[in-house]
Amino acid sequence: MRCAYVRHLWDCGESLEIEEKHTGRYGARGQKREKRKKASPEDIKRQNKWKRERDLRRLIKWNFGKYDYWMTITYRKGDRPAWEQMKKDVTDLIKKVRKRYRKLGKKLKYIYRLQIGKRGGPHVHILVNRIQTENTGTDMIFTELWTKGHINIRSVNDTGGFADLAEYIAKPLEEWEPEGVKRYHPSRNLIRKEPKQKVINRRSLVDKYGHMIYPKAPKGYYIDPESVHMGINPVTGFPYRHYTCIKLQI
């Protein structure tokens, strides 16, 4: 087995997300493979949660920015539409908004999630790309077309590279919400990218003492310390390293 590891790199514009790992084909220097263990239901649940948040975070990075809008759409006091009615209401609203965008020569992008609060209050969270012309804009369009209640509009929170936002949108359904429904609904025109894959030869993720090696940022970037996760995958028994590099603002 030769000493090498596999790197997957996702270019997210202002950041690079990197996942590195040793595999059965590419081993670590002086590293014996740890004993594998069967993934428990909790392990699988935790891994699936991490993947959902990771994939959604990248989707947001590729399609939205800090000047776009995060909206909370509510109903009039006392209105309690069923889940399917909520979905129909949002679908109808999106159709109307998309038509307005098209008239302005723009394309609507969105990710929305239906929610029911603890007290039964139905509402919708939606992330949308912002447009602005001399006479109108996204905020005016949504406010005019939503006639069943109110809309709270604010700029997107890009703290942590949209990590908090992705975690919120992808969070599990509450116990009082209908089972089996989709957590969130993205528009079909969102940009999705495949990673660049590279085998890093004659390199290891662990040093000669078996300790994990902290990653180095490429030129023009710095590493977000909160993003660094590394260790031994308990299921495969091999070392891994995940981190995000942020582009330096010059």
DSSP states of 127-186:
EE---B-SS-BHHHHHHHH--SS-EEEEE---TTTTHHHHHHHHSPPPTTSPTT--S-EE
Identity at 233, one-letter amino acid code: N
Query: What is the mean pLDDT of the segment spanning 35-61?
Result: 85
According to the model, what pLDDT value does residue 24 have? 67
96 has a pLDDT exceeding 60: yes
Identity at 158, one-letter amino acid code: D
- Higher per-residue confidence, 43 vs 202: 202
According to the model, what pLDDT value does residue 121 have? 85
According to the model, what pLDDT value does residue 23 have? 80
Residue 210 pLDDT level (bands cut at 50, 70, 90): confident
163 has a pLDDT exceeding 80: yes
Among the listed ranges 19-28, 127-136, 213-222, 241-250, which one has the minimum average pLDDT value?
A: 19-28
pLDDT, mean over the chain? 89
173 has a pLDDT exceeding 90: no
4 has a pLDDT exceeding 80: yes
Q: Per the confidence metrics, is the pTM higher than 0.85? A: yes
Strands 122-128 and 26-27: unpaired
Tell me the residue length of the chain.
250
According to the model, what pLDDT value does residue 1 have? 46
33 has a pLDDT exceeding 60: no
Taking a C-beta distance cutoff of 8 angstroms, is the pair 169, 40 a contact?
no
> Hey, CA dihedral for 58, 63, 67, 72, is it positive or negative?
negative
Q: What DSSP line would sit under 1-23, residue for residue?
A: -EEEEEEEEEE-SSEEEEEEE--
Q: CA gyration radius for the chain?
A: 22
Question: Tokens in use for 18?
Answer: 């990197």
28 has a pLDDT exceeding 60: no
Portion of the chain with pLDDT greater than 90, in percent:
66
Whose tokens are 């993003």? That residue is 227
Taking a C-beta distance cutoff of 8 angstroms, is the pair 156, 66 a contact?
yes
Q: What is the pLDDT of residues 122-157, one digit of tens each?
A: 999 999 999 999 999 999 999 999 999 999 999 997
